Amino acid sequence: MTLTTEQLDKLTREDLLELLKQLLPLVAEVKQLRQRVEELEAENERLKNRSTNSRNSSQPPSPDQKVNRPPKKKHKKNGPPFGHQKFSRPLVDNPDRVIQLPVTECEHCLADLTGVPPEDFERRQITELPQALPIVIETRQHRTTCPHCLTLNRAILPEGLQAERCFGPNLEATVVFYKQTQHLSYERIVETMRDIHGVNLSEGAVAQILERAGQKAAPVAETIKEQIIKDQVIKSDETSARVEGRNWRQWVFIGDSGVYHTIVPTRSASEIATVMGRSRVEAWVCDCYGAQLKAPARIFQLCLAHQLRDLQRALDANPRERWASAMQKLFRSAIHLRNRFTTHRDKLLNFLRYPEIPPTNNESEQALRRSVVHRKVTNCFRSKWGAKAYADLQTVIATAKHKGKAVFPALADLMGAPVLPFLEALSP
C-alpha cells in the first residue's frame, strides 16, 4: 500500500508511530540485503580476476570467452593477402589415362577437319580416387601323403601369408591411422571401413588389430627412446590421461632423434628417471614443474612462453576493483614471480648461449595436443594395453613426422610383410 503526502498529513501521532514500528524491520532487512549484494559483487570481481585464459595461462584457446565482433568494424579481407602470387595445381607428368579430343569440324565454316594435325593442345587433368574394393587372397595349402613312408606333408606358407594372418598390412595400417590420427571410435572405424573401403569388420577385430599394432610398435618405440636419451637436448612435457577410470599421465620426450610418448600412473620425477636410466643430457627444456627440474641434465631452459603468460596474468588487473585489493593481488603475483625468477634465474636465458636450445617448450606442448584431442573425443582408455599401444604407436607416428616421413607407409611397414606382391605375381 502506497500513502500519498496528503494521507500522511492526516495521520495522527499514534498512527505514525505504529507505521514506523512496521517499517523498522524492513529497513534493517534492506540494509542486510545491500550488504549482501556488495559482498557478492566483490566476490564476483575476485572470480573475474582469478579467471584464466590462453593469454595468461597454459589453457588452450578453445575455452576462452569469445566476444562478438562489432558489425561495423573493419576486418581483414578474406582470402590471400594483396600481392600474393597465384598458385595453381601442377600437372602430373605421367597421367594414368590420356583422352585425346581432336577437332572434327570448323566452328566457323563447318568444314571437315578430320585428319588435320593440330598446332597445339591444352592440357587439363582431373584427379579422382578409384572405387575402393577389398582384395582377398586365398591360400590353398596342399597336403600330400608320401607313397613311400606314408608321411603327411603340408606345403610351407610364404612370409606374409602366415596361417594366423587375416588382414594385410595396408588394411591394418588404415585402421591404426583412423584411430591414432583421426581419433575415430571403434564404431566409427567399423562404419568407415564398411562404407568407404568395402570391408566388414567387427569392433572386436578393430581391437585386435590395434592391440597387435601396439605389440609391434613397442620395440620400435623402445629403440626410439634409447636414441633420444643419447641426444644433447631433450624437451619434455606431460598431460593428463584416463586409463581404466583412473587418472594417469602422458609424458613426451623430444630430441633430435625422434619423439617418445609414454602413459604411466605417476607424475613424479621417478618416471623421468625410468626413461633416462643412467643417461645424462646437456640441456633440458621444460616448464617450472618440480619433477621436470629434477631431470638429469647439466643445464635447464625454462619455457619463456609460460613465463610471459604468467606475467600477463599478474598484469590483468580489473580497473573497477578497489585499488588496495588490486594492488595486493598484483604484489602477491609479483612476489611469486620474483621468487621464481630468483630461484631459476640460471634456467631462463640459456638459449642465448646455446643455439640448439629453443626459448620455449612449445614443441612438447604441440606434441601432446593431438593426445589431448584424442582424450576429449574418446574420453579414456578402457585398458592398460590400450594406453600403452596408443603411446607406442604415437611414438612411431610422431617420429616419422619429426623426420619428414609419411605416416601411412611407416604404419604399413610396421604391420609386417606386404601381401600385394603375391597378387601381382599371379596377374596374367
Taking only the tens place, the pLDDT of each residue in 374-424 is 888 887 788 899 999 999 999 999 999 999 998 888 998 898 888 878 776
Q: What is the pLDDT of residue 378?
A: 82
Asked if residue 109 belongs to a domain, the reply is no
Give CA–CA dist 336/341, Å, rounded.
9
More confident residue, 67 or 21: 21
**Domain boundaries, position 301:** 169-414
Domain assignment present for residue 98? The answer is no
Residue range 321-344: average pLDDT? 69
Mean pLDDT of 333-349: 80
3-state helix, strand and coil shares in percent for the chain, rounded to the nearest 5: 45, 10, 45
**What is the percent of the chain with per-residue pLDDT over 70, rounded to a whole number?**
87
User: Picking from 25-29, 79-83, 174-178, 259-263, which range would have the lowest pLDDT averaged per residue?
Assistant: 79-83
Structural domain includes residue 323: yes
Q: What would the pLDDT profile of 280-312 be if each residue is shown by its tens digit? A: 999 999 988 899 999 999 999 988 888 777 777
Domain count, the chain: 1
User: Average per-residue pLDDT in the chain?
Assistant: 85
pLDDT of residue 428: 46
What is the reported pLDDT for 48? 65
As a whole number of angstroms, the distance between CA 278 and CA 266 comes to: 20
For position 340, what pLDDT does the model report?
A: 79
Q: For 218-270, how does the pLDDT look when each residue is reduced to its tens digit (9 = 90+)?
A: 999 999 999 999 999 999 999 999 998 899 999 999 999 999 999 999 999 99
How far apart CA 411 and CA 169 sit, in angstroms, is 8
Q: Nine-digit cell at 129?
A: 580416387
Provide the pLDDT for residue 424.
67
Residue 276 has what pLDDT? 95
What residues does 234 pair with on adjacent strands? 284
pLDDT digits (tens, 9 = 90+) for 114-169: 889 999 999 998 888 787 889 898 889 999 999 999 999 999 988 888 888 889 99
Q: Is residue 282 part of a domain?
A: yes
Q: What is the residue type of 178?
A: Y
- Kindly state the cell numbers that stand for 201: 569388420
CA angle centred on 404, ends 298 and 295, rounded to 5°: 20
- In our burial notation (b when 16+ CB lie closer than 10 A, e otherwise), range 197-230 reads bebebeeebbbbbbebbbebbbebbeebbeebbe
The verdict on residue 7 lying in a domain is no
pLDDT at 180: 93
Give the mean model confidence (pLDDT) for residues 19-40: 85
Pairing relation of β-strands 281-286 and 297-302? parallel
Q: What is the pLDDT of residue 60?
A: 66
Residue 325, domain member (yes or no): yes
**pLDDT score recorded for residue 319:** 46
- What span, in angstroms and rounded, lies between the C-alpha atoms of 164 and 167? 9
Cα–Cα distance for residue pair 64/14, rounded to 1 Å:
62
What's the CA gap between 174 and 196, in Å, rounded?
11
pLDDT at 326 over 90: no
* CA-based nearest residue to 379, from 186, 128, 234, 172: 186
Q: Is residue 153 part of a domain?
A: no
Q: Which amino acid is at 94?
A: N
Q: Is the pLDDT of residue 373 over 80?
A: yes
Q: What is the pTM of this model?
A: 0.72
Q: Is residue 85 part of a domain?
A: no
Which residues, including other chains, have CB under 8 Å from residue 344's CB and lie 6 or more apart? 288, 293, 300, 302
